[in-house]
């Protein structure tokens, strides 16, 4: 199927609305993506025609809902090229997926049979300097709980990991390496296989934060080679309230549970309980049923557009935008300046103008961008800026919208000039 952005735009009802009397130009997809009508309909259809609780009811609706929920798991497994559907766990978002891992690793301290996950004093947990707070704070907390040392791979002036540091920071003491595939603050695409190979060489577990990668890059867990990969539904044109954790089955089978509750057990007695096999082991309580089902629809939608078509489309937009923004006096790109190993997310500063003023003035022209530290404060500290303005693109972004962004930023510059 060929990719036609004008056709794609028709799938997203919100794109026909106006803000401040002008057409919306939505350049904040890295924050959260807009939803195609099929996703909106999928959620509504489940409530309107099938709704009941999942997994616990023998009646017709219950079985329809369970089938729909499990079908969504199959779709996600296919999207990830996962060897088994039982490796796909639905969570509330990627933040919960990463915390699930951090707490499960922490529970290994006392959980019978989980010795291989134990982390303690003398062990090291490694992240990178470009992590989203979601993939940073849970590991800091795990290090504090277990007495392990928290370390990170630094970033260079261009917003890339310092390659030599990968081998220096990941050592025999490293037990776990958790890192972002594509940075939300810089746009950088990291060398996943290189990091995984190094971690494997020292026997450390690997976790990939694919929140920003999932909507833009092929996400083949077997090719990536990591032990765990997580993403969040709302950035993948799916609903808010659902995310995914994928993990190797043999690891999930032994990993201690995180939340306890209904459906995650094998048997419960007052003296103690035993736990279900994955994925149920990690899905305590009534899940986000409609959201998971609609995420399945979003996965189909993205798959139908073709992730390589999407990547090509966004790469063209990114190159065009980088060129346009670099041409504006006073603009500094925070992150890779060239369109190589970088995604469709561009952070920048404009000399003498605070990012919130840039974003506010762009909003007056209907252009939605994000301003702030993008939940990756250490990145701003690294580049000595309080915040950046960030434009990010998606399947529905057009070259004309990039032109409007560049003209908008130029106009902000003149307003403050």
Partner 1 sequence: MSAPIDSMYQQIILDHYKNPSHHGLLDDFDAEVHHVNPTCGDEVTLRLKVKDGEITDLGWDGEGCSISQASTSVMSDLVVGKPVADALAVQQRFLELMQSRGQGELTDRDEEQLDDAVAFEGVSKYPARVKCALLGWMAMKSAVAEAGWADTEEVAG
The residues binding ligand PLP (CB under 6 A) are: 93-95, 132, 134-135, 180, 184, 209, 211-212, 232, 234, 375
Binding site partner of 326, from partner 1, ligand PLP, none, Cβ cut-off 5-8 A by kind: none
Determine if 416 is a binding residue for partner 1 (CB under 8 A): yes
Q: Is the Cβ–Cβ distance between 177 and 204 less than 8 Å?
A: yes
Distances (CA, A) of 25 to 16, 34, 207: 10, 12, 34
User: Of 13, 120, 285, 386, which lies in the binding site for partner 1, with binding defined by CB under 8 A?
Assistant: 386
Binding site partner of 364, from ligand PLP, partner 1, none, Cβ cut-off 5-8 A by kind: partner 1
State the minimum distance, in angstroms, from the CB of residue 187 to ligand PLP. 11
Q: Is the Cβ–Cβ distance between 110 and 119 less than 8 Å?
A: no
Binding site partner of 20, from ligand PLP, partner 1, none, Cβ cut-off 5-8 A by kind: partner 1
- The count of chain residues that interact with partner 1, using the rule CB under 8 A, is 15
Cβ nearer to ligand PLP, comparing 72 with 108: 72
Q: What is the C-alpha to C-alpha distance for residues 98 and 195, in angstroms, rounded to an integer?
A: 18
Q: Is the Cβ–Cβ distance between 290 and 43 less than 8 Å?
A: yes
Q: What is the C-alpha to C-alpha distance for residues 236 and 216, in angstroms, rounded to an integer?
A: 9
Catalytic residue among 114, 375, 385, 399: 375
Q: Is the Cβ–Cβ distance between 390 and 374 less than 8 Å?
A: yes
Binding site partner of 387, from partner 1, ligand PLP, none, Cβ cut-off 5-8 A by kind: partner 1
Determine if 122 is a binding residue for partner 1 (CB under 8 A): no
Binding site partner of 356, from ligand PLP, partner 1, none, Cβ cut-off 5-8 A by kind: partner 1
Cβ nearer to ligand PLP, comparing 31 with 146: 31
Residues in 324-343 that interact with partner 1 by CB under 8 A: none
Residues in 356-375 that interact with partner 1 by CB under 8 A: 356-357, 360-361, 364-365
Q: What is the C-alpha to C-alpha distance for residues 264 and 401, in angstroms, rounded to an integer?
A: 47
Cβ nearer to partner 1, comparing 7 with 415: 415
Binding site partner of 95, from ligand PLP, partner 1, none, Cβ cut-off 5-8 A by kind: ligand PLP
Helix, strand or coil, per DSSP, at residue 88: strand
Q: Which stretch binds partner 1 (CB under 8 A): 42-50, 57-65, 90-98, 409-417?
A: 409-417
Q: Which among 199, 245, 202, 237 has a CA at the least distance from the CA of 216?
A: 237
User: What DSSP letter does each residue of 255-286 carry, written as one string?
Assistant: SPPSS--TTSEEEEETTEEEEPPTTGGG--SS
End-to-end C-alpha distance for the chain, whole angstroms: 47
User: Of 1, 2, 6, 20, which lies in the binding site for partner 1, with binding defined by CB under 8 A?
Assistant: 20
State the minimum distance, in angstroms, from the CB of residue 357 to partner 1. 5
How many other C-beta atoms are found inside a 10 Å radius of the C-beta of residue 120?
Answer: 11
Beta strands in 163-235 (DSSP E): 174-180, 205-209, 228-232
State the minimum distance, in angstroms, from the CB of residue 131 to ligand PLP. 7
Q: Any idea what DSSP says for residue 47?
A: I
Binding site partner of 415, from partner 1, ligand PLP, none, Cβ cut-off 5-8 A by kind: partner 1
219 CB contacts (<8 Å, ≥6 apart)? 79, 80, 81, 210, 213, 229, 231, 307
Is there a catalytic annotation at residue 380? Answer: no
State the minimum distance, in angstroms, from the CB of residue 390 to partner 1. 15
The tokens for 344 are: 């469709």
Determine if 353 is a binding residue for partner 1 (CB under 8 A): yes
Distances (CA, A) of 6 to 34, 166, 207, 235, 245: 15, 42, 37, 20, 33
State the minimum distance, in angstroms, from the CB of residue 317 to partner 1. 22
State the minimum distance, in angstroms, from the CB of residue 32 to partner 1. 17
Applying CB under 8 A, which residues contact partner 1? 20, 353-354, 356-357, 360-361, 364-365, 386-387, 407, 411, 415-416
Residues marked active site are found at 375
């Amino acid at each position: 199927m060929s990719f036609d952005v004008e056709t794609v735009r028709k799938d997203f009802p919100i794109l026909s609305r106006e803000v401040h009397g002008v057409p919306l130009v939505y350049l904040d997809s890295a924050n959260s993506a807009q939803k195609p009508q099929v996703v909106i309909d999928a959620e509504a259809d489940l409530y309107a025609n099938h709704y009941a609780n999942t997994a616990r009811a023998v009646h017709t609706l219950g079985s329809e809902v369970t089938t729909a929920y499990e079908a969504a798991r199959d779709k996600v497994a296919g999207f990830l090229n996962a060897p088994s559907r039982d490796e796909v766990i639905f969570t509330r978002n990627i933040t919960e997926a990463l915390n699930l891992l951090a707490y499960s690793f922490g529970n290994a301290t006392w959980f019978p049979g989980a010795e291989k996950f134990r982390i303690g004093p003398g062990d090291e947990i490694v992240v990178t300097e470009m992590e989203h707070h979601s993939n940073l704070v849970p590991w800091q907390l795990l290090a504090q709980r277990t007495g392990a040392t928290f370390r990170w791979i630094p970033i260079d002036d261009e917003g890339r990991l310092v390659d030599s540091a990968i081998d220096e920071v990941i050592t025999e003491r490293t037990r776990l390496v958790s890192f972002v595939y594509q940075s939300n603050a810089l746009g950088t695409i990291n060398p996943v296989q290189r990091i995984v190979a190094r971690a494997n060489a020292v026997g450390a577990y690997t976790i990939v934060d694919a929140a920003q990668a999932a909507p833009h890059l092929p996400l083949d867990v077997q090719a990536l080679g990591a032990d765990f990969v997580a993403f969040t539904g709302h950035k993948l044109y799916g609903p808010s309230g659902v995310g995914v954790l994928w993990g190797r089955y043999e690891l999930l089978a032994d990993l201690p549970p995180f939340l306890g509750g209904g459906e995650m057990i094998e048997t419960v007695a007052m003296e103690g309980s035993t736990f279900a096999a994955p994925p149920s082991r990690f899905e305590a309580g009534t899940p986000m049923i409609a959201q998971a089902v609609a995420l399945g629809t979003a996965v189909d939608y993205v798959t139908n557009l073709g992730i390589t078509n999407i990547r090509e489309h966004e790469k063209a937009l990114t190159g065009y935008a980088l060129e346009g923004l670099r041409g504006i006096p006073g603009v500094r790109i925070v992150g890779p300046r060239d369109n190589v190993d970088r995604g469709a997310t561009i952070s920048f500063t404009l000399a003498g103008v605070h990012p919130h003023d840039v974003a506010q003035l762009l909003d007056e022209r209907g252009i939605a961008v994000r301003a702030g530290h993008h939940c990756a404060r250490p990145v701003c500290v690294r580049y000595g800026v309080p915040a950046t303005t960030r434009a990010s693109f998606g399947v529905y972004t057009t070259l004309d919208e990039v032109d409007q962004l560049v003209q908008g930023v130029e106009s902000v510059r003149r307003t403050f000039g």
